[in-house]
Structure 1
Amino acid sequence: MTDELLVVRAQLGERAALAELVARWRMPVWTYVRRMLDVERADDVSQEVWLAVVRGLPRLREPGRFVPWLFTIARRSVADRLRGEYVREREGLVASDVVVGDPVEAMVDRAGLVDALSGLPVLEREILVLFYLEDLPVEDCAQICQVPVGTVKSRLNRARRLLRERLEEKGYRS
């Protein structure tokens, strides 16, 4: 059954269709959010994303565009969390922003890549995550980020260059 059909059925009130959508997209959404934030914040933000999906699904006009709509909600939720933390930090309420490491990833060989990725500016990290790790086409990335396709391409180019530089600084060779 397609996502579009599940969305329509969920909009008509079928709980099983909504449950199927959540089952299909829970991990991809969590993975995207996790790649933008640390583990603890990813759990909280993912829950916020699904709450927004449940509330907004009846108003989704184009059921065939569910995936970009879903990732747009996830993107906004991540941005809201980062913005809120930045404001609290600027007000002095947060002494330091320590990223909690994932012990499993620390043992995996790709720890350097994860570290380099997390060190990128948010816009560049976001576009790499959406395009390469979530495997979304440039057009969907543009819709999610609410920028033109050309901007996505230039951000991808800049993000690749920045990631390459960070990895080379850590001793990795291209």
Structure 2
Amino acid sequence: MSDELLVVRAQLGNRAALEALVARWQGPVWSYVRRMLDAERADDVAQEAWVAVVRALPRLREPDRFAPWLFTIVRRSALNRLRGQYADRHDLIGDFATELDRSGVACDPVDGLVDRAEMVARLAGLPLPEREVLVLHYLEDLSVQDCAEVCGVPAGTVKSRLSRARRMLREHVEKEGERT
């Protein structure tokens, strides 16, 4: 059953459709939040995001746009948690990146793939805006347009962030190759 159909049924009060939607998207949501925050906060933020999704679902006017709508809510929940922690600082983005870099990023335990684990570990070294679009685009399989909608920036900005992030990752890999 498509997300669109599940959303419409959930909006009409079908509890099984809502449960199916949550079951389908729970892994990707937690995975996204985990890559943006440390494990301790990821569970809480993911749960808060799902509460917000369930409350706002009746107002979703475009059920076919569920994925970007969902990740927009999840992103807002993660950023709100970080803002709360760093409310008195001036440079939020820099502080987000510093905190995220310090906390590290772990791969999904189910995956167990070395390449993916290495990639996720390398993501920890990227600034938050570049890391975010890489996670959304490559790991959560959202289109450039959907990433733009989630991040609240133009598609061109997403493309430039993706390009910059790929360049930064490539430079990091090349530096590691020189050291070995």
The reply to whether TM is greater than 0.5 is yes
Secondary structure of the 2:153 match is coil
Match of 1:137 in 2: 143
Q: Tell me the TM-score normalised to structure 2 length.
A: 0.82
Aligned counterparts of 1:139 and 1:112: Cα–Cα separation in 2: 27
> Partner amino acid for 2:2?
T
Any stretches of 5+ residues in structure 1 without a counterpart? 91-95
Q: 1:47 aligns to what SS in structure 2?
A: helix
Deviation at 1:100, TM superposition (A): 6.3
Q: Which residue of 1 aligns with 2:8?
A: 8
Distance in 2 (alpha carbons) for counterparts of 1:60 and 1:46: 19
Q: How does the TM-score come out when normalised to structure 1?
A: 0.85
CA–CA distance in 2 between the matches of 1:172 and 1:156? 24
Amino acid at match of 1:67: A
CA contact (8 A) 1:9 1:17 kept: yes
Do the aligned partners of 2:105 and 2:124 also contact (CA within 8 Å) in 1?
A: no
Letter of the 2:143 counterpart: P
AA matched with 1:99: S
Could you say which residue in structure 1 is the equivalent of 2:83?
83
**1:99 equivalent in structure 2:** 103
Work out the percentage of aligned pairs sharing the same amino acid: 65
1:129 shift after superposition: 0.3
Match of 1:20 in 2: 20
2:161 is aligned with 1:155:
yes
Pick closer, same or farther for the CA change 1:101–1:35 going to 2, 3 Å: closer
- 1:21-100 matches, within 5 Å, as 21-87=21-87, 98-99=102-103
- In the alignment, the residues of structure 2 paired with residue 88 and residue 11 of structure 1 have an alpha-carbon distance, to the nearest angstrom, of 39
CA shift in 2, pair 1:40/1:154, >3 Å: same
**RMSD between aligned residues:** 2.6
Give the 3 Å change call, closer, same or farther, for CA 152–172 of structure 1 in structure 2. Answer: farther
Counterpart-to-counterpart distance in 2, 1:48 and 1:122: 21
Q: Which amino acid aligns with 1:53?
A: V
Q: Does the CA contact (< 8 Å) of 1:112 and 1:167 recur in 2?
A: no
Provide runs of 4+ in structure 1 moved above 4 Å: 100-105
Instruction: Kindly tell me the number of residue pairs found equivalent between the two proteins.
Output: 167
